[in-house]
Chains A and B, each alone.
Chain A
Amino acid sequence: MTRVVVTGMGWITPLGNDLDTVWKRMCNSESAIATIDRFDASSFPTKFAGQVRDFDWKQYVQDASIHHKPAMNSQFALGAAKQAWEQSGLGSYQELDHERTGIYLGAGEGVLDFSAHSMIDTHSWDVEDGKVDAVAWAKFATEQLDEWGEVEQEPNMPLWHLAREYNLRGPAFNCLTACAASTQAIGEATSVLLRGDADVMLAGGTHTMLHALGITGFNRLTALSTFDGDPKKASKPFSRDRGGFVMGEGSGMLVLETLEHALKRGATPLAEIVGFGSSADAYRITDLHPEGRGPSAAMNNALSQAGIDAKTKTNDPPVQYISAHGTSTQENDSIETMAIKLAFGENAPNVPISSIKSMMGHLIAAAGSVELITCIMSIQTNMLVPTINLDNPDPALDLDYIPNTAREADVACCLSNSFGFGGQNNTLVVKRFYP
């Protein structure tokens, strides 16, 4: 039977740009949330976010000139992929079959030039007609917009940049299922390997919506926190006074390969992907199903595929950590808690859960990949990172959310949840690698 293992990981996050730094900061319960300085958000309802800092993508590629002008999401992807590729040892593996090495990303779109677009739309506005004068719009667009910047808007551009950097010619997909995208990408990449369609898959996500129109969109949805205090305290999953999510940005990348391929080249498996579950709520465009139907189905499917009986009462639960989607919205955290109870039954109170979004914000399409890496780091270090800002617990949410402080634990199996607008639910189960 084919087994799929992780042999490399990398991330670019608001908490730092390498595995060790970010891990240490999460273990120290640090927050990366701060005032937005990428644009002037001082008048916006939300003025803070988790912003990637001190990152120069050119340090992560062999020859920057072959990438033309990558958008920020592609830059993050190149940074995270470099770390994963190096850790996997594939960079020095001469016998890599490039046609059997693919990519599956959950990447978001590029960054829209809001300054230019707002100028174009307003200058071409025909007051009498109450709409844009399309002829004028075309003229201003031609003058104001950077053509290559518009090409880089396509969500499959990070995929091209990674393929170009590492000469990857195998199966290639990009999915964009909102906040569930990179978990779905990793799950489907695993499926591609299990089918025998590739030996190696570079999988993960990358995204930034940290621009004026992105913040506008989520502010209008009233999904973002508008916390009026220390930004570090704004993201508070599972708290009684949680008031929406905090925007983050970044990328997480993993090298997945068949165990046979990894062992053949002498690679060190970091963990094994043992379960993937996917479902649709098929309920409403704005709301989760009130009974947690979709999230629990995704968890049940992933656990079933992993051969894990999560419901039978035991003092030694088969899953030692859940990386929650845990957005810090009233709806998500309540329904995710309900769904975890459905999936784990009486064992639910004994399974530690945390949301790293409390520390780095919500990386949108990239969130799931960064959270799966968190699970694998937990397995490797036997440490569980906390949900910070959990000083005022919601009494209706009664599970173990690892409040505020990291803890030691024997961690051999973790579950990672990602749920997206539109009712997208994806869950991965990852285990310590045993030969």
Chain B
Amino acid sequence: MNKVELLAPAGDLERLKFAFLYGADAVYIGGKDFSLRANAKNFTIEEIKEAVKYAHNLHKKVYVTVNIVFHNEDLKNLENYLKSLAQAHVDAIIASDIIVLDIIKKENLNLEVHLSTQASILNAESAKFYLKENVSRLVLAREASRKDIIDIKTKTKADLEVFIHGAMCTSFSGKCVLSNCFTNRDSNRGGCAQICRWVFDIENSKEPFSITPKDLNMVSYIKDMIDIGINSFKIEGRMRSIYYVSTVLNVYRNIIDKTMNKTINDAYIKYYQDILNRCANRESTPQFYDKLPTNKEQYFLGRQEESNQDFIGLVLEYDDDAKMVTIEERNYFKIGDVLEAFGPNTEPYEIKINKIYNENMEEIDVARHPKMIVKIPCDKALNKYDMLRLKIFDISSYL
């Protein structure tokens, strides 16, 4: 089987480190300028250098998004910015505007370019247009079906990246300026106000009209996509929390690895689906891969999107002698709760909460305050940066 890359979003250096820890082979990040998540924390050039150094020490990669649709005024600093990225030795940039390709060529910059999904590549002919311009990878339109992907792969042999998980736009990427019209925030320069999540009335109906898609989730098709020859699996969400990104990565890392070593089965798939849906608080489906999206791939009246407090804490250290784990709390938990530890090297492990101690080793009944340091007895040795969540799903009941 082909080796595939698991590509994660990283909104800042902390998320980047968690992404690598939880199984990402590469991350994509945004600089302070020219990135489509203008309101994420994003990285300065110095932070990009630090991120690249950190990644390369782990033999992993960093891609930087330069994927806005440029206006005249944005051109001024673009060349210098691209030179800075080349000097930072980023592994690639992700761009769709052809002027970026021209500057790289003209200035002979040592920068690999991955064509952004903003270019909406759906067929081999449009793919070839950009391949002639020396892009080394195509990030396909999220609307590309399985048949479209196979056709593009067969006819171009190109390195292909596809989204496998996360929020979807209602529109083709870049083909929406609803945000510009409603809020004057430029959707193609990182200011999208997500108008497609708002609720409308439609003439001659009392039902509220919605154009909101459910999220993308390709858990069921990972093996198929590996077989097709897709090179990189991309997770959406540069503004998501470390818990979300770590959980999603943990799931897909497991699925990819189990697929590669032929131990994946339907029970695992079902279990991972449940974990992902719970983690995002949103329903998710394969969207365009297997069919055109129907009403089942959209949200309508009565959608449930309640946030949960499943993320209980982050493991800081484990005391082998005392068999005690120290955690930094994220959400309320109490005596009697049943938690589950998981991590890059920790299979889901159940912990029944019989005792909780504060930092002074005084017994408490409840851990109430996010960021408070607490200790709980745990027979299994956990690793630093493992996570604890409420136990909702029991893997053994699936197998």
Pair from one complex? no
